[in-house]
Amino acid sequence: MNDKIADQATRPHSMEQTVGSSAAITEVYRIVDRIAPSGCTVLITGESGTGKELVAQAVHSSSPRASMPFVAVNCGAIPEALLESELFGHIRGAFTGAHATTSGRLAAAKGGTLLLDELGELPHALQVKLLRVLQTQEYSPVGDSRTHRADVRIVAATNIDLDAAVASGKFREDLYYRLNVIQIVLPPLRERRGDIAPLVKHFAAISAARLGRPPIAFSPAAISAMEEWSWPGNVRELENTVERAVILCGSDMVEPQDLPTRFSGLSSRERGGAAELPDSGIDLRATVEEFENNLIRQALERTGWNKNRAARLLGLNRTTLVEMLKRKRFSSRAGAA
């Protein structure tokens, strides 16, 4: 990609495959470059699909642990009853079905890096055990009273607001402070729109090569439509959108009509700026209300009625949006009452 020289100076080798030169992503390169060698615990936050795992791998591969394993555990995907044994291992007979002693992922990552993905989903009992690992580098497999030594760098990733989880008692404050030594924030894609065009180019080249097709370009109109989009699924959504367009496109140029219909909405400028007062006059309140309802409905539909994300798209607090919906008596089936 066409990175600036200043950018190359700080971009670690391990992030060569990471695309983007927005201020936000350049800051990420800079932090990874600084903290990778130290072995310190790192907390990576950002919405789903913003590249948290990619950054975790970069932290690992620019660290002295690079030649040792990188092991990722998705704390949200493994049932609570199994997660403890998955992480710490168990001894034979520790529970029904424990026919053999098994070492966990912590042992598998020995000498390397352990990524705890979706950390916000870690159950309370395991939060205590993780805190022990961080404080004393010690743990015990399930059913084993002996102490094992953990030799791992812990990198944690989460897409939930841990401050809020701490406030609501869902997440231990002491663990949060212990993990939050260095935080890397991956901003949503809609806040670094300058990265969209280079990312499209990057994924188009990968998709075309994978499909054994000649290189495929995206027209300026297609790129504009993509730059206007809110990308609730972030880089992962963009990656999938590009692959789909490359597959469906019949020529060597992707046009807006090759993109899913959600991209064909008018630009915010076109929607907002075009209103003209007719000679006969208007009912201002009703017109504004209708305009507002229309945008709220689009935000809700675009986010699958996720009020948090819809509120963010509209620049509102969640509570404000919820109050507006109540007042307007919005529902997912009927129109606004």
Ligand X SMILES: Nc1ncnc2c1ncn2[C@@H]1O[C@H](COP(=O)(O)OP(=O)(O)O)[C@@H](O)[C@H]1O
The residues that touch ligand X, with contacts defined as CB under 6 A, are: 18-20, 25, 46, 48-54, 235-236, 239
- DSSP code for 14: G
The partner in contact with residue 152, picked from ligand X, Mg ion, none with C-beta cut-offs of 5 to 8 angstroms by kind, is none
CA dihedral of 90, 80, 122, 77, whole degrees rounded to 10? 100
Structure tokens at 321: 């949006």
Kindly state the smallest distance separating residue 159's Cβ from ligand X, in Å: 7
Q: Which does 235 bind (CB under 5 to 8 A by kind): ligand X, Mg ion, none?
A: ligand X
Q: For Mg ion, which is the closer residue by CB, 203 or 218?
A: 203
Q: In the bound complex, what is the minimum distance in angstroms from residue 18's beta carbon to ligand X?
A: 4
Which of 7, 27, 53, 292 is close enough to bind Mg ion by CB under 5 A? 53
Paired strand residues for 43:
156, 183
For ligand X, the closer of residues 14 and 50 by Cβ is 50
Q: Which is nearer to ligand X, 46 or 141 (CB)?
A: 46
Residue closer to Mg ion by CB (options 186, 246) is: 186
- Tell the smallest beta-carbon distance from residue 315 to ligand X (Å): 23
* Exposure b/e, 252-275, CB count within 10 A at least 16 = b: eebebebbeeebeeeeeeeeeeee
**174 within 8 A of 135, measured Cβ to Cβ:** no
Nearest to 40 by CA among 63, 67, 72: 63
Taking the complex as a whole, the smallest distance from the CB of residue 117 to Mg ion amounts, in Å, to 5
Total binding residues toward Mg ion, as defined by CB under 5 A: 1
Which one of Mg ion, ligand X, none interacts with residue 19, CB within 5 to 8 A by kind?
ligand X
Token pair belonging to 212: 């054994």
Contacts of 331 (CB under 8 A, 6+ apart): none
Distance of closest approach, residue 174 Cβ to ligand X, in angstroms: 25
Q: Does 27 bind Mg ion (CB under 5 A)?
A: no
| Measured distance CA(57)–CA(36) in Å, rounded | 10
- Which residues in this chain contact Mg ion in the complex, by CB under 5 A? 53
